[in-house]
Structure 1
Amino acid sequence: MGGASPLANSRGARRPEQLKRGAFAAIVFSVLGLLTLVKISGGLDAWRDLAHIDPIMLGIAFGLIVLTWLFDSLRMRALVHSLGGSLSILEGMRISVMGAFVCNVTPFDTGGEPVQAYLLIDKGLTAGQSTAVVAVKAIMNAFARVSLGFAASAALLFSRSQWSLPLGMDIALSVGTTLYIIVFLFSLYLVFKPEKISVLVVPAVRNRFTMRFFKPETLDTALERIDHELREFREALQEFISNRRPALAAVLLLSYAAWIATMLIPAVVLTGLGLKTPYVQAMGVTIIFYLASAYAPTPGSSGAAELGFAALFSSIVPRAVLGLFVAVWRMITYYLNLALGGVLMALGFMRRGSGPPDRITRADNSDAM
C-alpha cells in the first residue's frame, strides 16, 4: 500500500525522465483519441460551437474540479491531524494535484498514492503513518465510488432510460467494473489484515531471482525496514479504527462529496453547450465510466478514456457535438491536472535536487483506487 509501503519499496523508482516519457505518452494517446472523435463527430466544423459555450457554466465546471482538490486536501488533513501531524489546506491541495499528475502519467493510474504518501512524511508523520493515511483515504474513496456506481446502475435500470451500448462496449464495461471491485475488496482485506502484506512481500523480496543480484544481508536489511514500516502502518490503522472514527466518517463524507462534484462536471459542460441535460442520467453514466476505466493500461487511461466516455454518452449527446463535449470534459478533468501538476512537480524537483525525486514516485499497483 502507498509510497512507503513494502510493496512500493520493492519496486523501482520512477525518475523525472520517466515521468516526462509518461506525460508524452499520455498526451499522444489522448490526442489520438480526440482526433478519432473529431472524425466521428463531423470534423473540425462541429467544433465551432466551442466559441458559443456558456462561460458561466464553463467556470462552474472548472470550479468543480478545484472543489475536488479541496475535498481531497480536507480528507488528508483530517487523517494527518488525527495522528498528530500538521497539514494546511493549501499544502493538501498541492499534494492532491501532484498525486493526480503522477497518476495521469503512469499506466493503470498507479502512481498517485505513493507520491502522496512520500510527501506526507514531511508533515510530521512516519513512513508507516503516511502510508496508512493514504491507504485509508484510498479505501474510503473506493467505497464511495463503488457504492455510487451501484446506485447509479440501479437508477438507470429503474428509470428505464434509453441508455444503451454496443455488445463489445457492454462487455468491456462489465469486465472493468468487476476488476475494480475485485481489487477494491483485496485492498480492503489488506487494510484490515495488514500482517498478510508480509506474506506477499517476503517471497517478492527474498527469492532465487533477487538472490542473484543482491547479497543476503542487503535483502535482510530491506525486510527489517519493511517490518518496521509495517508495524507503524498497523499502529496507525489501529488508531484510526479504535479512536479516530469521527475522522473516518468525515473522510467518507468528503469522498462522496468529491465524487458528486466529479459526476456533475459532464452534466454542467453539456448545459454550457446549450443541450437539454438529463442530470441524473449524465451523473450515473459518469460514475459508471470511472468505475469501469480505473485500470486502463495507458498512462492516465489516455485514448481509452476519450473513446470510452464518448461511447457511454453517445445515447444522450448528439453526434455532432460529441467530440467537442468529450474534449472540454477532458480538458477540465485531465489536462488541467496534467499542466498544474507538472508545474508543481517540476518546482518540487528543483527545490529538492536530484536525490529525493528518485524516491518520490515509487509505484504500487495495489493502491490505485
Structure 2
Amino acid sequence: MSRGILLLLALLAAVLIPSLLGGNETWSRLQKFPLQWLLIMFGMILLCWVLNTMRLRLLLGDQRDKVGRVKSLGVVMAAEFAYCATPGGSGGPLTIMALLARHGVRPARGSAVFAMDQLSDLLFFLCALSGILIYALFQHLSERMEWLLTVSAVSMFGGLLTCVVVARYHRLLIRLSGRLLVRLNVKGATRVRWARKLLHFLAAFTDTLKLPFQTLITVFALTCLHWLLRYSVLYLALRGLGADLQWAWSFLIQMLSLSAGQFSLLPGGAGAAELTSAALLAPMVGKSTAAAAILIWRAVTYYFYLLVGGPVFLLMLGRPLLKKLLNFRQA
C-alpha cells in the first residue's frame, strides 16, 4: 500500500473516530460554534508560522542571509506539511535540510539547526510539565489525571536524560556504533562516510550552541510563544462549545495525544491522536462536546497545515521529493 493511500485512510479515520463518538449531536454542536473564534484560531496558526520563521533565522546565525525572510517562511510551512503528511513526522527534518541545502546551507548546519530547534521544544515541554505538576499539587486529582501526569513526567525527563547521555558519551557511542556496523558487514568506505557526516554535524551543533546567549534566550522565548498559542487551540475550542476545562488539562491531553500519534507511525498521527484525545477528553466534558472539540482542534492544527502547506511544499521542492517522502520507510 502506498503512503498516499495510507495518508487518505488516516485522514478518513481522523474524521470518523470523533464523528462516531459524538453521533448526530456532534454536527449540531459544530454549527453553533462561533465563527469569530474559529478565525482567531487560524490567525494563531499563522502567527505560529511567523514565530517559527523568526526562530529559524536566529538559529541560522551568519547563514541567515542565504535564505530570505519569505523563503524562510516557506521552509517552515513546507516542513510543517511534511511533518503532517509522513509517518512519525519523518519528512519534516528531511524537508528542512533539503530546502536549506538548496540555498547554500550545508547539510550538517541544517541538521544542527533542526536538532537545536528540537532541543528548544523539549526544554519548553519540560518547563510546562513542571508548571503543571506544581499546579497539580494544590488540586484534588483523580487517579486518571495522576496517571497522566506520571506518564508525561517520566517520558519528558527520560527524553532529557537521553539527550544528556548522548552529548556526554557521544565518542563512546560512535565507537560502539562503528563496531556494530562492522558486525553488520557495512563497507569500510560507507562507515567512514557516515562517521564524517556525524562529526560534521557535531561540529555544526557546537557552533549553534555558541550563538550569543541573548540569541538563544530569544529562540527559547519564541518557542514558548509558539507552543502556548498552538496548545491553546483545543482550550479555545472547548470554551467556544461551552465546556469548562482548565487550560493545564487541555495542554496535557494534547501533549499525550500527539505523542501517541507519533508512536503510531501514522501520517501526522491521524486516527491515533483522535482516539487518544477522545478517550481522555470524553469523561471530562461529555462525548458530543469532546467529539466536536477534537474535530475543530485537528482542523486547525492538522488539516489546515496540509491544505496550506501542501502547495508551498510543491512550489519549493516539487512533486519528486513529495513522492519520495510519501514512500519513505523508516529503517
2:214 equivalent to 1:246: yes
Which segments of 5 or more consecutive residues in structure 2 lack a partner in the other structure? none
Instruction: State how 1:287-302 maps to structure 2 within 5 Å.
Output: 287-290=255-258, 293-302=261-270
2:144 equivalent to 1:165: yes
Partner of 2:175: 199
Instruction: State how 1:179-328 maps to structure 2 within 5 Å.
Output: 179=155, 181-191=157-167, 194-195=170-171, 198-199=174-175, 201-203=177-179, 206-210=182-186, 216=187, 219-220=188-189, 222-290=190-258, 293-328=261-296
Alignment identity in percent?
19
Q: What SS is found at the alignment partner of 1:109?
A: coil
Alignment counterpart, residue 152 of structure 1, candidates 118, 126, 132: 132
Residues in 2 aligned to 1:316 and 1:355: alpha-carbon distance in whole angstroms: 43
State the shift of 1:336 in Å: 1.1
Q: Which moved more, 1:184-193 or 1:104-113?
A: 184-193
State the shift of 1:103 in Å: 2.0
Instruction: State how 1:90-109 maps to structure 2 within 5 Å.
Output: 90-109=70-89
Partner of 1:12: none
Q: Which moved more, 1:310-319 or 1:299-308?
A: 310-319
The RMSD of aligned alpha carbons is 3.4
Residues in 2 aligned to 1:97 and 1:195: alpha-carbon distance in whole angstroms: 35
Q: Which moved more, 1:66-75 or 1:281-290?
A: 281-290
Kept in 2, the 8 Å contact 1:266–1:329? The answer is: yes
Partner of 1:66: 46
| CA 196–253 in structure 1, closer or farther in 2 if over 3 Å, else same | farther
Residues in 2 aligned to 1:313 and 1:303: alpha-carbon distance in whole angstroms: 15
Which segments of 5 or more consecutive residues in structure 1 lack a partner in the other structure? 1-17, 211-215
Residues in 2 aligned to 1:108 and 1:93: alpha-carbon distance in whole angstroms: 23
Kept in 2, the 8 Å contact 1:128–1:229? The answer is: yes
Kept in 1, the 8 Å contact 2:129–2:153? The answer is: no
Q: What SS is found at the alignment partner of 1:78?
A: helix
State the shift of 1:331 in Å: 0.8
| CA 132–329 in structure 1, closer or farther in 2 if over 3 Å, else same | same
Partner of 1:11: none
Residues in 1 aligned to 2:104 and 2:269: alpha-carbon distance in whole angstroms: 34
Alignment counterpart, residue 38 of structure 1, candidates 9, 14, 19: 19
For 2:33, the aligned partner's letter is: I
Residues in 2 aligned to 1:346 and 1:59: alpha-carbon distance in whole angstroms: 26
Number of aligned residues:
331
2:50 equivalent to 1:50: no
Q: Which moved more, 1:356-365 or 1:262-271?
A: 356-365
Residues in 1 aligned to 2:291 and 2:62: alpha-carbon distance in whole angstroms: 45
Kept in 2, the 8 Å contact 1:102–1:115? The answer is: yes
| CA 114–74 in structure 1, closer or farther in 2 if over 3 Å, else same | same
| CA 84–193 in structure 1, closer or farther in 2 if over 3 Å, else same | farther
For 2:254, the aligned partner's letter is: T
Runs of 4+ aligned structure 1 residues displaced above 6 Å come to: 359-365
| CA 266–208 in structure 1, closer or farther in 2 if over 3 Å, else same | closer
Residues in 1 aligned to 2:11 and 2:143: alpha-carbon distance in whole angstroms: 25
Q: What SS is found at the alignment partner of 2:284?
A: coil
Residues in 1 aligned to 2:84 and 2:60: alpha-carbon distance in whole angstroms: 25
Q: What SS is found at the alignment partner of 1:59?
A: helix
Residues in 1 aligned to 2:177 and 2:4: alpha-carbon distance in whole angstroms: 30
For 1:102, the aligned partner's letter is: A
Give per-residue Cα distances to partners, 1:263-305, cap 9 Å, x unaligned: 2111111222243453344334434544565423322212110
Kept in 1, the 8 Å contact 2:260–2:273? The answer is: no
Alignment counterpart, residue 131 of structure 1, candidates 67, 92, 111: 111
Residues in 2 aligned to 1:35 and 1:165: alpha-carbon distance in whole angstroms: 26
Relative to the length of structure 2, the TM-score reads 0.84
State the shift of 1:95 in Å: 1.6
Kept in 2, the 8 Å contact 1:175–1:292? The answer is: no
Alignment counterpart, residue 338 of structure 1, candidates 306, 316, 322: 306
Alignment counterpart, residue 57 of structure 2, candidates 74, 77, 99: 77
State the shift of 1:62 in Å: 1.1
